Amino acid sequence: MKISYKVIGKRSPRDPQGPLKYYAVLKRKGTTSTAELCKRIAKKSGLHSAILEASLRAMATEIQNEVAEGRAVKIDGLGTFSLKVNSEGKPTAEQIRAHHIQGAKINFHSDAALKKLLKKLSFYRPRKT
C-alpha cells in the first residue's frame, strides 16, 4: 500500500526565531464514516448495513462504559483501549492522592495483526506540478 506525504517546515516552540526544520506529514485521503464502513462490511458479509451500524455504535458505547469502569477492552485484530492518567510527581508513594491526578486519556495499543500492516506500507512524495 502506497501512502503519500508532504513536507512542512516548522520552527521549535522553544526557539520561534530559529531555523526551520522539515518534516514528513501524511496526506490524509479523507475520513471513512461509520455508515460507509458498515456498507463495505455489508457487501462482504451479507449482513444488513443498518444492523452493522447499530452494532458498532453499541460496541462504542460498551467500550466507553468498560473503560470508565477502569477495565481495558481488547478487540482482536484491532487493539486494546484503556484509561491512562497523568499525575504530579511526589517524593514518596504515600504522598500521592487523587487530587494529584491532573487528567485522564484514552490509551490505544494496536494489536499485532494491525501492526503487521505497517510493514507492508510504502511512502511516496508526489511531484509538484
With CA atoms as reference, report the closest residue to 42 among 76, 63, 77, 34. 34
Return the domain boundaries, the chain: 32-70
- pTM here is 0.76
DSSP state of 15: -
Helices (H) and strands (E) in the chain, counts: 3, 6
Cell numbers given for 15: 526557539
- CA 129 to chain CA centroid, nearest Å: 33
Alpha helices, DSSP H, located in the chain: 34-45, 49-68, 112-119
Please report, in tens digits, the pLDDT of each residue of the chain (129 residues total): 889 999 999 998 899 899 999 999 998 889 999 999 999 999 999 999 999 999 999 999 999 999 999 999 999 999 999 999 999 899 999 999 999 999 999 999 999 989 999 899 999 998 876
